[in-house]
Amino acid sequence: MPKIIFLPHKIILPQGAQFESKEGETILNVALRNNVRLEHACEKSCACSTCHCIIRKGFFSLSGWTEKEEDILDKAWGLESESRLSCQAIIGNVDIEVEIPLYNVNYITES
């Protein structure tokens, strides 16, 4: 089973975390199943960029992205060449390392 390593995020996951995933799951589903409060304002429909993440290791093991995901990613804060929407990035058979950006397009986070 591939592992997802979430790097520390000062608000969402101060200590970072590591979870097992199943091949074919999205990064967002693994995060939510493990109580990581990763924002997803559009409920996983690829219509916002609040679940934007940066893949620090294992980027090429993820599923390819669609034109729609690319268009939505253009609106993400802190976009990098290894950016993905966690609701769309499907995990392959390789461990990945994920950074959750400090900010996203939502200015207010509900507690």
Other residues' Cβ atoms within 10 Å of the Cβ of residue 50: 21
| pLDDT surpasses 80 at 108 | no
Q: Which residues pair with 19 in a beta bridge?
A: 4
Backbone angles phi, psi at 67, to 5 degrees: -60, -35
Q: What is the pLDDT of residue 109?
A: 47
Number of H helices, E strands in the chain: 2, 5
Distance CA(18)–CA(98), nearest Å, equals 10
Distance CA(93)–CA(52), nearest Å, equals 21
Banded pLDDT at 80 (limits 50, 70, 90): very high
Higher pLDDT, 55 or 106: 55
Quote the mean pLDDT of the chain: 92
Considering Cα of 58, then 20, then 65, then 68, what sign does the dihedral take? negative
Residues 10-63: tens digit of each pLDDT: 999 999 999 999 999 999 999 999 999 999 999 999 999 999 999 999 999 999
Task: Determine contact, residues 4/95, Cβ cutoff 8 Å.
Answer: yes
Q: What is the pLDDT of residue 103?
A: 82
Q: What is the pLDDT of residue 54?
A: 98
